[in-house]
A and B are shown apart, each in its own frame.
Chain A
Amino acid sequence: MAKRIIVTDDAPIIRLMLRDILTYNGYEVIKECNNGQEAVEAFTELKPDLMTLDIVMPEKDGIQALEEILTDDDSAKIVMVTAVDQREALMKAIRIGATDYIVKPFENDRVLSAVRKALCED
């Protein structure tokens, strides 16, 4: 059965890109979220296998959302999506417990490798 993934990003085109890559490789994108608030709610409700989470978003950013999700479920697999310069935010996210990260603009194989390893599919 295909693994269920939620994609969170405030830019439609990024969501589309991720959706394309993931679906093409056999994953199921069960929901797309626009901001941190939606992400937290969706995660609680749908309990996906993995979520990709953009860092900079309106109405609750990725860090905040990450924290809330992990407090609720500390086994959550979350891959942060960051633009090339957001080092500090990334550090914060990792210390909070993010599973991995990918850097925008991303290369397909890096996205896939991060997802695969996060889902422990070797």
Chain B
Amino acid sequence: MTDRLKVDKALKLIAKLSIDKSSQVLSKMIKSGARIDLENVCVVDITEATEKVIGQSDQEVVGAFIDLVGDAPFKFLFYVNVADSLVLTDLILKREIGMTKIFDVYAQSAVQEMGNILSSAISNVFSSDFQISMAPTPPTVINDYASTVFTEYIMSVAVDKNEILIIESVFNIVATNIGCRMFILPVGESEKILSYVASTM
């Protein structure tokens, strides 16, 4: 197996474990069956990243960025399209779906907390399963087109790299059609650390 593939395999494994934990946490949050699936682990050129990941269907979304700092730092992004964010809010508050009609402070807070909790779960997997100590930073919430949100997300690492490793996952929530996605973007030396850790598993 080439090194690249090995790295991918290792990262996929860690990604999968983290995402499983996020799934659990998500289910708890919305009190409903939910599954987060690992959609993609790939290395892309920065200039093509947005195109590749977002593609053509550009929707208006609400996204929460969170920076995870620590031994294996990464940038986390969670976004959901605006209409669905209202549904999400209702799910979290256990209200009848449709009660939240406008993107109010609660909907925004919902997206923010989702980002918070999901990224915490992932960082928890890192520290308890892999002994990589991490700490979150307060989230930033942006409301814009998906391509803009995503570009903003990856631009923060554009400074030192041309290629980035993206870990993308997609949500499946029972009885709904909510489209949300979550991304993990290792920064700095994270990739090496993660694959080193995974190779010792």
**Nearest Cβ in chain B — how far from A101, in angstroms?**
14
Instruction: Tell yes or no: B192 within 8 A of A by CB.
Output: no
CB atoms of B134 and A13 under 8 A apart = no
Instruction: Tell yes or no: B46 within 8 A of A by CB.
Output: no
C-alpha spacing A85/B127, complex, angstroms: 8
CB atoms of A84 and B113 under 8 A apart = no
C-alpha spacing A92/B77, complex, angstroms: 29
Instruction: Tell yes or no: B138 within 8 A of A by CB.
Output: yes
Instruction: Tell yes or no: B28 within 8 A of A by CB.
Output: yes
Q: Which of A13, A84, A107 lies in contact with B92, CB distance below 8 A?
A: A13
Q: Which of A14, A86, A87 lies in contact with B113, CB distance below 8 A?
A: A14
Instruction: Tell yes or no: A20 within 8 A of B by CB.
Output: yes
| Chain B: interface size category | 20 to 34
Contacts of B93 in A (CB 8 A): 13, 16-17, 20
Instruction: Tell yes or no: B23 within 8 A of A by CB.
Output: no
| Chain A: interface size category | 10 to 19
CB atoms of A85 and B113 under 8 A apart = no
Q: Which of B25, B105, B120, B124 lies in contact with A12, CB distance below 8 A?
A: B105
Contacts of B109 in A (CB 8 A): 11-14
**Nearest Cβ in chain B — how far from A11, in angstroms?**
5
Instruction: Tell yes or no: A104 within 8 A of B by CB.
Output: yes
CB atoms of B138 and A58 under 8 A apart = yes
CB atoms of B105 and A105 under 8 A apart = no
Q: Known contacts being A83-B120, A84-B121, is A13 close to B25, with CB within 8 Å? A: no
**Nearest Cβ in chain B — how far from A92, in angstroms?**
13
**Nearest Cβ in chain B — how far from A105, in angstroms?**
4
Instruction: Tell yes or no: B112 within 8 A of A by CB.
Output: yes
Contacts of A112 in B (CB 8 A): none
| Closest B residue by C-beta to A85 | B124
Contacts of A20 in B (CB 8 A): 93-94
Instruction: Tell yes or no: B136 within 8 A of A by CB.
Output: yes
- A–B Cβ pairs within 8 angstroms, 25 of them: A11-B112, A11-B113, A11-B116, A12-B106, A12-B108, A13-B110, A14-B109, A14-B113, A17-B92, A17-B93, A20-B93, A56-B138, A58-B138, A84-B25, A85-B121, A85-B123, A85-B124, A85-B127, A85-B128, A85-B136, A86-B120, A104-B113, A104-B117, A105-B25, A105-B28
